[in-house]
Amino acid sequence: MESVLGNIILGFGIACTIKNLLFCFLGVFIGTLIGVLPGLGPVGAISLLLPVTFGINPASAVIMLAGIYYGAQYGGSTTSILVNIPGEASSVVTCLDGYRMARQGRAGAALGIAAFGSFIAGTTSLIFLMFLAIPMTKVALSFGPPEYFSLMILAMSLLIYLGQGSMIKAAVMAAFGLCLSQIGTDIITGQTRFTFGIDNLQDGIDLIPLVMGLFGIGEVLSSLEQQGDFEIFKGKIKGLLPTLNDWKDSAGAIVRGTFLGFFLGVLPGGGAIISSFISYTLEKKLSKHPETFGTGAIAGVAGPESANNAATSGAFIPLLTLGIPANAVMALLLGALMIHGVQPGPLLFKQHPDVFWGIIASMYIGNIFLLILNLPLIGLWVKMLKIPYRILFPFILFFCIIGAYSVNNKVFDVFVMFLFGVVGFLFRKFNYESAPLLMAFILGPMLENSLRQSLLLSMLSPAIFFTRSISASFLIATCLLLIFSIFFRRRKRI
């Protein structure tokens, strides 16, 4: 207990410097703005801003990027409630009751309970993160190459299983990501792989142009195709502070959403989207008046909004303690840390305590900033919603080009970005998720290295993956997951 308190004091000492407070505020402000504006999303925003962080220290960089992530979860509720269009995918469920409340003249109550529920859930889940991170780190120290290989196989299987669309499409995307990760020079043999004689590919495909193309340019093209006029709620927004009855109706939903969101956020592929949907379903089943859901039930706003914010904290556990990203945003943060020379995993706590505890402490501060930002600045967010997308997209395009070029000062990277921009647009058009591709692309080299190291340790015998208990447990869980998914799909057809 004393060790945790000492470490969190260290974290606040780092997070409360003027520079880090500024980066934290910038992160949550940009995140809220991204959440409010339908289209770009936190993955695209982090992709755009990743090159900006190259000149600052790792702790400050991740503090800002993490702020964008959990800030976007806050901001997404504003668009859902006022426009009936989710600013974030995790805020889809909020549209069901939030917009109905706004139409009934209760937009203030819906926005207020979303903000307070998000704050309570975000702060509580940080306490879970703080106390669970160290035990998880100690467990992870017993991991060797076989355990990491099996864990990454399980992580990608979970991501495919818990994806939003077709499992087959998700598996295809993961396989494509693994193939892309193999482009370049083999670190053991020194031979080039899949370069097709192109010298610029000898070092492989860089992460920044890839993600900027898939999530930046691809999102712009997709939004331009689908962009239409939408009606913004024009009524006067008042009563932002929830009443006693509102708290009474929402308290249970906030508590359940917090626990549910946090533990689902830990699972690769679980994240904010699934937790918000499950929270809404749970609240409807537990309600004494389930018929009110979909007509303006405040619990239908409080539960999902608490769940998606708690999930953002849960997702940091596998990233910081095991080096395994739970979703596309965590995969980007993993890439950001590695670019700065910081390897997430069980040794992060000892090698970079400033990064580890600075991030956790900054999230407490960020949640306070978000509560301050979200309620008084509702009028500003409404005005931002009125900006036509045809004005916004040239700026997004400009930052994408600058960001892609600035990584290696190569025009080739800009071409790569535009290529993956078109590919990302086609993926969206044909309902292929990009998240499995991104995770597989980042995990691919680690997966390959773990496999090679394991086989070298065992004199090329694959039995090493089954004779070590932790590794075998992960592989058994993967097999059970695949068997269950096949059985479930067959039962649905019947």
Q: Which two tokens stand for residue 485?
A: 């998914």
Q: Which residue from 244, 234, 298, 307 is spatially nearest to 272, judged by alpha carbons?
A: 307
Q: What is the pLDDT at residue 203?
A: 83
Residue with the two structure tokens 């929402």: 250
- H runs (alpha helix) in 375-410: 378-385, 389-408
Q: What is the pLDDT at residue 38?
A: 61
Q: What is the pLDDT at residue 489?
A: 62
Q: Which residue from 70, 144, 78 is spatially nearest to 345, judged by alpha carbons?
A: 144
Residue 341 gets the label, from left (phi > 0), alpha (psi -120 to 50) or beta, of left
| Mean pLDDT by groups of 10 residues along the chain of 494 residues | 71 90 92 74 76 83 88 77 67 78 82 86 86 76 84 79 72 90 82 84 83 78 66 59 85 90 74 75 82 84 87 84 79 84 81 86 89 74 68 75 76 89 88 81 84 88 89 90 73 57
Residue 296 gets the label, from left (phi > 0), alpha (psi -120 to 50) or beta, of left
Q: What is the pLDDT at residue 86?
A: 62
Q: What is the pLDDT at residue 365?
A: 92
Expressed in percent and rounded to 5, the helix, strand and coil fractions of the chain are: 75, 0, 20
CA pair distance 68, 58, nearest whole angstrom: 16
Q: What is the pLDDT at residue 239?
A: 61
Confirm if 251 and 300 have CB atoms less than 8 A apart.
no
How far is CA 388 from each of CA 34, 85, 220, 230, 382, rounded to the nearest angstrom? Answer: 15, 15, 13, 11, 13
CA pair distance 249, 385, nearest whole angstrom: 30
Confirm if 49 and 400 have CB atoms less than 8 A apart.
no
Residues 6+ away with beta carbon under 8 Å from 226: none
